[in-house]
Structure 1
Amino acid sequence: MVRAGQVPPTARSARANGGPTPAAHRLAPSDHARLGLAARAALPPREQGQLVLPSNRPDPVALLEAQARTRVAELVPVRHGRMMVSAFTFFRGNALGMAADLGAAPVSGLTAQLCGDAHLSNFGVFGSPERRLLFDLNDFDETIAGPWEWDVKRLVASLAVAGRGNGFSRKERRKCVLETVRRYRDASADFATMRNLDVWYARADIDEVEEALRSKMTSSRRRNVDQTLLKARGSGNLKAFAKLTEMTDDGVRLKADPPLVVPIADLLPDAGREELEAAIKELLTLYRRSLPPERRDLFDQFEFVDLARKVVGVGSVDTRCWIVLLRGRDDGDPLLLQVKEAGPSVLKRRVPTVLRQRSAPRNEGERVVLGQRLMQAASDIFLGWQRLEGIDGQTRDFYVRQLRDMKGSAVVEKMDPRGMTMYGQLCGWTLARAHARSGDRIALATYLNSDDAFPEAMAEYAEAYADQNERDYQVFLDAIKSGRLQAETGL
């Protein structure tokens, strides 16, 4: 068992890697298994089901208020409006609150690269560089090296919270969680037996996944899946271009849809507009250095056209996020990039000191990009990062990626119990693969074993945290009702 400032000697070599381990010091598979056994003895899996909260647990509203001080002030009410829709949307936007809770509990001492916010809605489909649709994690704003179980707990809590919102019985929610964690456990066992390259090449090709699951789907669920995939396949660069732009006297420009999309021409007066546009152009010029040489050549074939501020997600609504329109050969050859602010991970202060990565990136945009590349089976070809001074008078980190590159996700709020169970199993496999790429997969599989101790513990934890989430959600709603927090709904 590991608490802040403590770590068993046997677990130290199982930390997230800060670089290749010298060959002379690499462990045999049997030694890795012993690390897993030692961790299992120190913190038995069944004990992970207990919800341990900080003795001085912060007020959830105070956490949101503190977060808002570094965000775009006029968009904070939009974020609150999206969070108040349901207990599930509140859960999605309250990653900081759950991070504080996770940091209070003992951990196994085995680490991996974490997504940091692995709830159901942060999985989905996207296009690989080969233009294949893959299922994977798709949000890495909070990625960090830390205790692997934190990602699992975030996932199972989201199942319980979403299941309650969808009207599932306790028995149905329990089954969703058990089957998801069993899939994580069994996949971890499979990855533990694989060669390193086989783990790295493993991916959930959506066509193969769909074919494997079709026999288990009802006709209505097959139609829903087909519609989701059709939408994802059609949501590439050109569709985003058609939706977000319009022809003006000055040529093709980004279209206003305030407050969700606000072109720079509508956002700032001339002097401020020129300054911000120059800053973003400088960011893009410097960002290209984070790309491989051949992709720099591709990027250099595009020229800047327009810039707009964009509202994204639930928890990220009030962060600084820009969409940049670039032009290639002509107006029919567009590239849309998203330039998104990257702040410190909400988990950064919660990871026990002895488990922290020794060579963690100092640039938060780089942290996001490297975490994504490490956990995803394939990543966007334009994924990169840069730090820029002078945005709102501050030095800020950003990461850059394509906007809506064949992306799609399931609507969690429309899932029935069977559908959520199947979806949860796919998420469980995906998360296990991501952890196997960066953590000690043999030690982790040994810790989990083949019994139901950990799945049963997670079923208990999920319900306990869903209870806590409902209490926090009510405190949040009361703060809006009293006027302590401002909320703008319908956006």
Structure 2
Amino acid sequence: MTLPSAPAYPPTVAERAAYGRQARARASRSCHGWFETDPQRPDPVGVLERQSATRVQELVPVRYSRMLESPFRFYRGAAAIMAMDLGPLPGTGLTVQLCGDAHLLNFRLLASPERHLVFDINDFDETLAGPFEWDVKRLAASLVIAARANGFSTGEQNRAVDACVRAYRKRMRAFAGMGTLDVWYAQDDVGHLRALLDAPMSREARRRTDRATAKARTRTHLQAFEQLTRATAQGRRIAPDPPLITPLRDLVPGTGEEAQAQELGALLDAYAHSLSSERRHLLRRYRLVDVARKVVGVGSVGTRCWIALLLGRDDDDPLLLQAKEAQESVLAPYTGGEPWDNQGRRVVAGQRLIQTSSDIFLGWTHTVGLDGRDRDFYIRQLRDWKGIARPETMDPALLTQFGGLCGGSLARAHARSGDPVAIAAYLGGSARFERALTEFAQSYADRNERDFEALKAAVRSGRVTAEGV
């Protein structure tokens, strides 16, 4: 059966719902279940090696080392492998702005510009338009992988996935009945987190949530300033912690330092043009005093990432910015979407579309490095009220509730960028999608473990090198 084209804008609610239900002809809800790889599936280690070829070579062994710590750490660094696996699967054609790497640790407490704590998606390096189910599948599989690491039973793993996908489906149905501006303004602030859960929070969950909220408020730019800098004869400077943090003066001493500093100064000047006029005005009140290379995350290790220390009225008035290299999204080969002329701009545009409150200094730029290669960057504050989940400390009930929060938050992001009426109509009122995603998550967690073992074997054979940090 041929799926009809999307109705002309502006469609009625009935047309949007019909379009969503008709998408089942292309991809039934049950087809999202058990995952099996094609016998001709490309070598997963080869996928990682192709990514590593464009990165800072001295840091690539650090990336592999971090991925070898556990199957969950491997999964965090293997978004490109999963994109390769999702691309050929039947798709709904119901397009949203994807996070692109929606595992459970990319949902966290963040500060809004109004200085409120909100629960939202945090990482957008791979963001791109694509079928909504790709994000849901990556999130669901991450819950099983995290639950297995904690020794949870299969039933406990499945309950976490079911809670996540059910929360996604139910909240999408709620958004389908809301006005357009109401969907856009929806925000998961801390005061509403408990209301998003189907079941009442246990005493332990409430205590952990309150503690995480309080801790997030302490993770400010001033805390980062104290941790990452030190007083010197020249004033405050970034403290070295190689290879994780390497000041520019140690990377390229002498005349090379001056040339690199000029390049990074030009990068920040160009970045200012991506900000609104009032934020450019604010940025001009700071002066750049130091720059260092920073190793970040798991999957991002080896991409070029700089932290810049700027000071305002004095040495106790800091602004820490992070300039992170943006490469093509791992989803791009499988979406057929419009190419971006600047990958940093892609990241920023995607983040602004699906995150309710973005950093006021979020922007992008482009530079030509000393090696003559074009590179795109996006820039934001280094740290601003971030509360990070610790799934390894969660019991089954808490992981299940956290999965529900993540599923609900993902639905809010997708409702902003996609059509909640069509997606809700596709999902329907039954638990069929939940059952399918539970099967998918279990089978993909098995696949992830085999890929993890393949990387271990590649290190043992000397094909790739891992280096502990």
TM-score, scaled relative to structure 1: 0.93
Does structure 1 residue 426 correspond to structure 2 residue 426?
A: no
CA deviation digits over 1:238-267, x for unaligned, max 9?
Answer: 111111100111111000111111111111
Please give the alpha-carbon distance, in whole angstroms, between the structure 2 residues aligned to 1:399 and 1:274: 23
Please give the alpha-carbon distance, in whole angstroms, between the structure 2 residues aligned to 1:221 and 1:192: 30
After TM superposition, give the deviation of residue 481 of structure 1 in Å: 1.7
After TM superposition, give the deviation of residue 213 of structure 1 in Å: 6.4
CA deviation digits over 1:194-246, x for unaligned, max 9?
Answer: 11110011011013325776993444433333332222101111111111100
Q: Give the paired residue count.
A: 469
Please give the alpha-carbon distance, in whole angstroms, between the structure 1 residues aligned to 2:198 and 2:260: 50
Please give the alpha-carbon distance, in whole angstroms, between the structure 2 residues aligned to 1:391 and 1:37: 53
Partner of 2:241: 257
Does structure 1 residue 362 correspond to structure 2 residue 346?
A: no
Please give the alpha-carbon distance, in whole angstroms, between the structure 2 residues aligned to 1:326 and 1:396: 22
CA deviation digits over 1:24-60, x for unaligned, max 9?
Answer: 8311111101101110233210111131534521111
The one-letter code sitting in structure 2 at the alignment partner of 1:8 is L
Please give the alpha-carbon distance, in whole angstroms, between the structure 1 residues aligned to 2:450 and 2:39: 17
Partner of 1:59: 43
The one-letter code sitting in structure 2 at the alignment partner of 1:428 is G
Please give the alpha-carbon distance, in whole angstroms, between the structure 2 residues aligned to 1:319 and 1:440: 34
Shift in CA distance, 54/347, structure 1 to aligned 2, threshold 3 Å: farther
Please give the alpha-carbon distance, in whole angstroms, between the structure 2 residues aligned to 1:294 and 1:65: 43
Partner of 1:108: 92
Partner of 2:169: 185
Partner of 2:232: 248
Please give the alpha-carbon distance, in whole angstroms, between the structure 2 residues aligned to 1:470 and 1:391: 40
Shift in CA distance, 459/265, structure 1 to aligned 2, threshold 3 Å: same
Partner of 2:388: 409
Please give the alpha-carbon distance, in whole angstroms, between the structure 2 residues aligned to 1:205 and 1:52: 39
Please give the alpha-carbon distance, in whole angstroms, between the structure 2 residues aligned to 1:466 and 1:169: 14
Please give the alpha-carbon distance, in whole angstroms, between the structure 2 residues aligned to 1:438 and 1:212: 20
SS at match of 2:429: coil
Structure 2 regions of 5+ residues with no counterpart? none
Please give the alpha-carbon distance, in whole angstroms, between the structure 2 residues aligned to 1:256 and 1:238: 18
| CA RMSD across the alignment | 1.7
Partner of 1:98: 82
SS at match of 1:421: helix
SS at match of 2:72: helix
Matches within 5 A, 1:266-305: 266-305=250-289
SS at match of 1:317: coil
Contact 2:309 2:320 in 1 (8 A): yes
Please give the alpha-carbon distance, in whole angstroms, between the structure 1 residues aligned to 2:169 and 2:9: 28
SS at match of 1:233: helix
Please give the alpha-carbon distance, in whole angstroms, between the structure 1 residues aligned to 2:315 and 2:391: 37
The one-letter code sitting in structure 2 at the alignment partner of 1:137 is I
Partner of 1:325: 309
SS at match of 1:105: coil
Structure 1 regions of 5+ residues with no counterpart? 2-6, 14-23
The one-letter code sitting in structure 2 at the alignment partner of 1:259 is P
Partner of 1:29: 13
CA deviation digits over 1:444-487, x for unaligned, max 9?
Answer: 00000010111100000000101101111111111112222211
CA deviation digits over 1:110-147, x for unaligned, max 9?
Answer: 11000000000111011100110110000000000001
Contact 2:194 2:201 in 1 (8 A): no
Matches within 5 A, 1:81-480: 81-210=65-194, 216-351=200-335, 353=336, 356=337, 358=338, 361-480=340-459
Contact 2:197 2:405 in 1 (8 A): no
Which one of 4, 28, 53 corresponds to residue 9 of structure 1?
4
CA deviation digits over 1:171-191, x for unaligned, max 9?
Answer: 111111111101000000001
Partner of 2:466: 487
SS at match of 1:454: helix
TM-score, scaled relative to structure 2: 0.97
